[in-house]
Amino acid sequence: MGRVYRLGSDGTNTPGVRRSTVEPPMADPITPSPASSVREVAYRADDGVRPLDVFRLSSLRDRMAWDGPPSYERTDFDLLILPIEGVGTHEVDFETVTIDPMRWLHVRPGQVHRWHPDDYDATLVLLAPRPGAGGGPPGPHLLDVADLSGAEPLRRLLEDDRRADLDRTAARALAMLVVGWLDLDRLAERDVEPLHAGFRRLLDDDEVPHPRRVVDLARRLHCSPRTLARACERAGAPTPKRMIDEHTVLEAQRRLALPGSTVSATAAALGFDELTNFTKFFRRLTGTTPTAWQERSRD
């Protein structure tokens, strides 16, 4: 059952769930599942066409009975978390970062993230799925307001929104202004060599089969492995082989966090013929075994 953040019929922002036809309605439809699960969260506008939506973290928190860290979620849309009051933490791809009114967070489509029940408030902007979106490096994508030219006036507008409690039309207009100014794709690939950016997008593409080899991905980009390696070097990135390994182990962690997942099934899905080879690979990159990592993620 995947969660959907949608606009309620009364004009307020209401986190809801997309219910299966074979499951009875839940007494509390937004009670989070156990922290060991990864819930697929889809973008759905009630009118079917709205390109973005905006609401407050406080309204989401009020409706969710958070007892300890909520469950992991994987979204199919861009999520901007723009703190307007207090300091909080958020987990993206199993890495926890601190956010505040001068430090925003962009969660990209396909990333696994988790809310922390901290005492802060934020404006949340949900951007409908876009063709070709994503492609950024793994892990949290933090936006330092002090380093972004022109961001301070927008930050003050967000504070004014909080104080004035703008109506929904004005709030969405403000969100569109923020999203248009940020230009998420440009920020995600700022100062990045185009060939390297294309390589990152391939790593994020679920249609690209495993196991993944540098020579195969270079062929998809119509270049040689050496040309791809030079592009990564110019971008200040790891080698293509290292990038493949890091993305593979991140995808393994995402799969191992799923309810009912097994180490053997994860290894097979990522193209490992032998479980022992997968265990050695996982230990080499993380310092622990996949079984131990899975057990800790479900504590």
Q: Is domain 3-188 classified as CATH 1.10.1330?
A: no
pLDDT digits (tens, 9 = 90+) for 227-273: 999 999 988 889 999 999 999 999 999 889 887 889 999 999 999 99
pLDDT of residue 285: 94
Is 284's pLDDT higher than 90?
yes
Q: Is domain 194-297 classified as CATH 1.10.10.60?
A: yes
Rounded distance between C-alpha atoms, residue 242 and residue 185, angstroms: 23
Helix (H) or strand (E) holding 292: helix 290-297
Rounded distance between C-alpha atoms, residue 68 and residue 17, angstroms: 20
Is 29's pLDDT higher than 50?
no
pLDDT of residue 51: 72
User: CA separation (Å) from 5 to 14, 44, 77, 249?
Assistant: 7, 7, 11, 29
Cβ pair 224, 252 in contact under 8 A:
no
Domain residue limits, the chain: 3-188, 194-297
Is 22's pLDDT higher than 90?
no
Compare 144 and 97 and report the one with higher pLDDT.
97
Rounded distance between C-alpha atoms, residue 112 and residue 123, angstroms: 20
Strands across the sheet containing 3-7: 13-17, 3-7, 38-43, 72-75, 112-115, 88-92, 95-99
Q: Tell me what percent of the chain is helix, strand and coil, each rounded to the nearest 5.
A: 40, 20, 40
pTM: 0.68
In this predicted structure, which of 171-175, 186-190, 256-260 has the lowest mean pLDDT?
A: 186-190
**Residue 39's pLDDT band (cuts 50, 70, 90):** confident
Helices then strands, counting H and E runs in the chain, come out as 11, 12
| Mean pLDDT, the chain, integer | 74
Compare 65 and 297 and report the one with higher pLDDT.
297
Nearest to residue 141, comparing CAs of 209, 187, 175, 82?
A: 187
Q: Residue 104: phi, psi to the nearest 5?
A: -95, 165
In this predicted structure, which of 18-27, 59-68, 179-188, 282-291 has the lowest mean pLDDT?
A: 18-27
Give SS3 for 291. Answer: helix
What contacts 24+ positions apart, CB below 8 Å, involve 265-268?
Answer: 266/290
Ranked by mean pLDDT, the top range of 60-69, 97-106, 267-276 is: 267-276
**Residue 9's pLDDT band (cuts 50, 70, 90):** very low
Rounded distance between C-alpha atoms, residue 121 and residue 99, angstroms: 11
∠ CA 270-273-274, rounded to 5°: 110
Is 108's pLDDT higher than 50?
yes
Compare 148 and 134 and report the one with higher pLDDT.
148
